[in-house]
A and B are shown apart, each in its own frame.
Chain A
Amino acid sequence: MTADLIAVVLLLAVTAYACAGGTDYGAGFWDLTAGGTERGRRPRWLIDHAMAPVWEVNNVWLIFVLVMMWTGFPVLFQTVFSAMWLPLALAVVGMVLRGAGFALRKPSRQLAGRRLYGALFAVASLVTPFFLGAAVGGIASERVAPGTEASADIWTSPTSLVFGLVAVATTAFLGSVFLTGDARRFDAPDLVDYFRRRALCSLAVLTVLAVVTGFVTHEDAPYVWRGLTHGLGLFFVVLAGAAALVTVFMLLRPPSTWMRVTAIGVVASAVIAWGMAQRPYLLPTSLTVADAAGSPATLTWLAIVTLVALVLVMPAVALLYWLDARGELEELTDAELRGGSSTTGDGPSPGL
């Protein structure tokens, strides 16, 4: 019972990471594809500003997923990390370069430095979700089972590859939808259209990939395929499809906050559909929730800790996102780090 609850919490945490982290990786994707220094200057400017206050928080979801895995379902953690070590190792290298690239790009002033860190950030934003998706694909296609030997090529199955691509497309979709909203918030109408077009394109690509995923899972991941086409799994698949249609409708109209909600709806429903399709397995056909569950006392405490944390953390997260959406969060400018009022010295500066 508690194990099921914790499994649901784990699935929700994965969903939260897919949405929050996905948005973040997506911003990196559009940074990568924004073109040369001059052409990509405005989109990159927006990406920098929009991401800055929240990216760390977005990525902390992942830590929480890992902790839930090893505390709640130690065998799951052990098995996944043994069997899928290569994609996960590559993903973590990507994460390091990405976080560092982003953090270091902001304070560096020289063009060469900004280019180097920016390129690191952008490429890593593409690579990391691909490998995380590939690891999930390995789980869905029943290739990861307790006792699976560490092998370097287990993740190169069709399901893994297509899941990796879906992950990248998802991040691109989320990123562009959120950036459309940010462009409106930062009063940049040209960027609204810029990212709106990209959101529609990436949603189209995502739809195509979803169909491909359907064919591939039919052959390669029969258990998940059955789950996705029956019962709750099917319900969430349909929900994701409906949310996608509403998102298209929203994107064609003047931008509003609701398109973010529906875009999140698409991704969240898809992730939950996958989780539902796997029931009652954590690793399809080899490890059930009940088999993988850690000690009952620990699970109870994990539930308590989660509950207390929700009470503590959620108001703070809500405050952060609220302040951010209201434009209350601004990074410090050089002027403010200078120690004088902005009127002394060189007069009203062009940048301000």
Chain B
Amino acid sequence: MSTSLHLLADAPAQLLPARELMAFTLASHIILVPLGVAFPFITLVMHYRGLRRKDATALLLARRWSAVMAVQFALGIVTGTVLSFEFGLLWPGLMGRWGDVFGIGFGVEAWAFFLEAVLIAIYLYGWRRLKPRTHFLLGLPLPFAALLGAFGILAANSWMNTPQGFSLDSGGNPVDVNVWKAIFTPMFGPQYWHFVVAMVLTAGFVVAGVYATGWLRGRRDRYHRLGFAVPFTIAAVATPVQFVLGDSIARSVFHKQPVKFAALEIVWQTDTRVPEYLFGRLHEDGTVSGGIKIPLLDSVLAGFSPDTKVVGLTSVPADQRPTATQATIAHWAFDIMVLIGSVLVLLALWYGFVWLRHRRLPASAWFYRSAACAGVASVVAVECGWIATEVGRQPWIVYQNMRVAEAVTSTRSTTLWIMLAVVMVVYVFLFGSFLVILLKMRTRWRLTDLQQASADTGPPEEDLPYGPRAPVPVGDVPAGDGPPAGDGAGQSGGDRP
């Protein structure tokens, strides 16, 4: 540990930019993850409904969602590729020493992701020509591929939290790797299920939030009701489950990573009858300012009894625990996540209550206002959960085995700052364009829906997306003088230059 102390004393200058760069790219990628993992599932549910009940509206929604999925998945791939490069560009020390211990999870993830990319390509591009049943069945493995991919990533992350499955030789290098133990670490189960349910409910609330906004603006036709009800129901089922899972993972952290738990709850001294602070700020001397103090509650939550002993931050030397500022950040992130989760449970209960009582959607504008916010709120909760688990582990990159400072690249800090600036500009442009394009798609669809409503000729049941249709545009390459650009409505998307 003598080298570690030395390293702490003068943390390399490139540590800060490297950390900021990783944090920025990961935080951006995380926004896309819930949709990447759970949106295919939600779309398939809608698709199933459409096929089962011959519901043209449901099929239309599923098709439009898959058009959104296409753009979002592509963006997820590029931001994900950046992350795998950053492992090497920013943290060569981590991968060089531990790659063969915890990398196998990434191996599973890479293949699962591969499978997902293949299946998603087939699903997205299969709407036109494949038989309805074949098309749906080929899409069906998608959620499982997503679950498998999440398995790999969570295995790697939970290994960093509770590393095991190796022993160290005299030079401090890992030997005798037991891959099985390195994948199924103590934190793996709790983290995995907490993550999966978080993705489902976040994707559900985000998608439903779009249609809740529509409802608030007066668009209350069947299309919007259905677009709201299906994802919201999925999310509403997942939310109480998440409440229980979240409670259980907190207790797992208490048992397996006591110092992180101390940071999350800003517990300074190991003690029984520990109070719970809602927010508040921890100072270097161990005092807490601000926040709401609830006596005994932390001990009760951790072990169901006020006499539960909670390990404090001071149980380990200062160079092996998060600083007061880091602990405060982790604590706030944790509290915000819990707060949002609790409010979402209330929202889900409201929805469930109205449904059981009246067999209809809630009618209150306040419900839809809350539902519109729930999407953003749940993304914030996901970000907070990630911040809590990562900042709470500081200063370790591999808990008790490698410090972040030991893993960082030796590239000069100036170049890393420049890289961060470039990446920020690029990402702002990327996500900005993504948003603009989503909004434009929405506007186009809304316009065509209006035209449709005014010029509807046949009953909507006959408007199924499958079956005989006009020939595909491939035979009709726009040759020099294509169709007039003004008549965009009937033009297929791809053959415009």
- Among A215-223, A243-251, A261-269, A312-320, the stretch that binds chain B is A312-320
Contact B494 A106 (CB under 8 A): yes
Among the stretches A60-68, A155-163, A171-179, A204-212, the one at the interface with B is: A60-68
Q: Do A92 and B104 touch (CB < 8 A)?
A: no
Contacts of A254 in B (CB 8 A): none
> Given known contacts A108-B440, A329-B126, A337-B63, is B117 in contact with A56 (CB within 8 Å)?
yes
- Is A96 within 8 A of B81, CB to CB? yes
Do the beta carbons of B474 and A71 come within 8 Å of each other? no
Q: Does B350 contact A (CB under 8 A)?
A: no
Minimum CB–CB distance from B55 to chain A (whole Å) comes to 12
Contact A301 B127 (CB under 8 A): no
| CB–CB B99/A77 < 8 A | yes
B118 adjacent to A334 (CB under 8 Å): no
On whether the beta carbons of A333 and B85 are closer than 8 Å, the reply is: no
B121 CB within 8 Å of chain A: yes
CB distance from A39 to the nearest CB of B (A): 10
Who on chain B is nearest to A111 by CB?
B497
Which residues from B are CB-within-8-Å of A302? 104, 107
Instruction: Report how far A231 CA is from B109 CA in the complex, Å.
Output: 37
| Residues in A neighbouring B71, C-beta threshold 8 A | 103-104, 107
B95: chain A residues within 8 A (beta carbon): 70, 74, 77-78, 81
Contacts of A306 in B (CB 8 A): 107, 111
The interface residues of chain B lying within 8 Å CB-to-CB of A107 are: 67, 71, 437, 440-441, 493
B444 within 8 A of A: yes
Task: Give the distance to chain A from B74, nearest Cβ to Cβ, in Å.
Answer: 3
Q: Knowing A100-B430, A338-B445, say if A92 contacts B120 (CB, 8 Å).
A: no
Question: Cβ of A339 and Cβ of B121 under 8 Å apart?
Answer: no
In the assembly, what is the distance between CA of A38 and CA of B485, in Å? 13
The residues of B that contact A62 with a CB separation of less than 8 Å are 81
A270-294 CB mask vs B (1 if < 8 Å, else 0) is: 0000000000000000000000001
Residue from A72, A111, A349 within 8 A of B100 (CB atoms):
A72
Contact with A along B479-497 (1 / 0, CB 8 A): 1101110011111111111
Contact with B along A45-85 (1 / 0, CB 8 A): 11011001110110110111011101111110111111001
* Contact, CB under 8 Å: A334 / B409: no
- B490 touching A60 by the CB < 8 A rule? no
The total of chain B residues at the interface (CB under 8 A) is 119
The reply to whether A351 and B483 contact each other, CB–CB distance below 8 Å, is yes
Residue pair A81, B78 in contact (C-beta under 8 Å): no
Could you tell me the distance between the alpha carbons of A329 and B135 in the complex, rounded to whole angstroms? 11
Chain A residues positioned under 8 Å from B456 (CB to CB): 340, 344
A327 contacts B129, CB within 8 Å?
yes
A335 shortest CB reach to chain B, Å: 6
Q: Which B residues between 130 and 146 are near A, CB-CB below 8 angstroms?
A: 130, 138
Contact B495 A351 (CB under 8 A): yes
A256 at the interface (CB under 8 A from B): no
Other-chain contact of B444, A48, A317, A330, A334 (Cβ < 8 Å): A334
Does A95 reach chain B (CB closer than 8 Å)? yes
Q: Does A102 contact B (CB under 8 A)?
A: yes
CB distance from B78 to the nearest CB of A (A): 4
A298 engages B101 (CB within 8 Å) = yes
Q: Is the CB of B100 within 8 A of A294?
A: yes
- Chain A residues with Cβ below 8 Å from B334 are none
B469 to chain A: which residues have CB within 8 Å?
A: 341-342
One of B200-208, B354-362, B458-466 at the interface: B458-466
Given contacts A78-B88, A152-B415, A345-B452, contact A332 B127 (CB under 8 A): yes
Q: Is the CB of A57 within 8 A of B121?
A: yes
Q: Give bound CA distance, A104 to B71, whole Å.
A: 7
B82-95 contact mask (Cβ, 8 Å, vs A): 1 or 0: 10110111001101
| CB contacts between A and B, total, < 8 Å | 374
Bound CA–CA A297/B181 (angstroms): 12
Q: Which of B172-180, B225-233, B267-275, B336-344 contacts A (4 or more CB under 8 A)?
A: B172-180
Q: Are A309 and B114 in contact (CB under 8 A)?
A: yes
Q: Which of A112-149 contact B (CB under 8 A)?
A: 114, 117, 149
Q: Which A residues are in CB contact (< 8 Å) with B422?
A: 93
**CA of A216 to CA of B48, assembled, Å:** 60
Task: List chain B residues, Cβ under 8 A from A305.
Answer: 104, 107-108, 111
Say if the beta carbon of B477 comes within 8 Å of chain A.
yes
Please give, as numbers and ranges, the residues of chain A lying within 8 Å of B471 by CB-CB distance: 352
Q: Is the CB of B60 within 8 A of A339?
A: yes
Does any Cβ of A come within 8 Å of B305's Cβ? no
Instruction: Output the nearest chain B residue to A300 by Cβ-Cβ distance.
Output: B179
A153 within 8 A of B: no
CB distance from B205 to the nearest CB of A (A): 24
Closest residue on chain A to residue B434 by CB atoms: A104
Q: Which residue in chain A gives the minimum CB-CB distance to B123? A: A329
Q: Is B56 engaged at the interface, CB distance under 8 Å to the other chain?
A: yes
Check A313–B179 contact: CB distance below 8 A.
Answer: no
- Whether A150 contacts B81 in the complex (CB less than 8 A), given A41-B497, A323-B126, A351-B491, comes out as no
- Cβ-defined contact, A70 with B410, below 8 A: no
Q: Distance (Å) between the CB of B165 and the closest chain A CB? A: 9
Expressed in whole angstroms, the minimum distance between the Cβ of A2 and any Cβ of chain B is 12
For A85, the chain B residues whose CB sits under 8 A away are: 88-89, 409, 411
Residue B113 interfacial (CB < 8 Å): yes
Q: Which residues of A have CB within 8 Å of B477?
A: 42, 45-46, 186-188
Task: Kindly state whether residue A97 has any CB partner on chain B within 8 Å.
Answer: yes
Shortest Cβ distance from B493 into chain A, in angstroms? Answer: 5
In the bound assembly, the distance between CA atoms of A329 and B121 in angstroms comes to 9
Residue A295 at the B interface, CB < 8 A? yes
Q: Nearest Cβ distance between residue B12 and chain A, in whole angstroms?
A: 12
Contact A81 B99, beta carbon cutoff 8 Å: no
Residues of A within 8 A of B478 (CB): 41-42, 45, 351
Question: Does A342 contact B124, Cβ atoms closer than 8 Å?
Answer: no
Q: How far is the CA of A68 from the CA of B99 in the complex (A)?
A: 10
Say how far A308's CB is from chain B's closest CB, in angstroms.
Answer: 8
Chain B residues in 8 Å Cβ range of A320: 118, 121-122
* Inter-chain contact A63/B80, CB cutoff 8 Å: yes
Q: Closest residue of chain B to A187, judged by CB?
A: B475
Q: Chain A's nearest CB lies how many Å from the CB of B75?
A: 6
| Cβ–Cβ contact B440 & A109, under 8 A | yes
Shortest CB-to-CB span from A15 to chain B, Å, is 16
Q: Does B128 contact A (CB under 8 A)?
A: yes
**Chain B residues within an 8 Å CB radius of A81:** 85, 87-89, 92, 95, 409
Which A-B residue pairs are the 10 nearest by beta carbons?
A349-B490, A294-B100, A81-B88, A71-B103, A78-B96, A74-B99, A103-B74, A309-B111, A329-B125, A350-B483
- Given A332-B124, A349-B490, output 20 extra A-B contacts at Cβ < 8 Å: A63-B80, A67-B109, A77-B95, A78-B92, A81-B88, A81-B89, A92-B85, A95-B78, A99-B81, A150-B409, A186-B474, A295-B176, A298-B177, A309-B114, A329-B126, A332-B493, A339-B445, A341-B458, A345-B452, A346-B489
Sample of 25 A–B contacts (CB below 8 Å): A41-B482, A44-B497, A60-B117, A63-B113, A72-B103, A74-B98, A77-B87, A81-B409, A82-B88, A88-B85, A92-B81, A100-B430, A104-B437, A106-B493, A114-B496, A298-B100, A301-B179, A312-B115, A316-B122, A329-B126, A337-B60, A337-B63, A345-B455, A348-B470, A348-B490
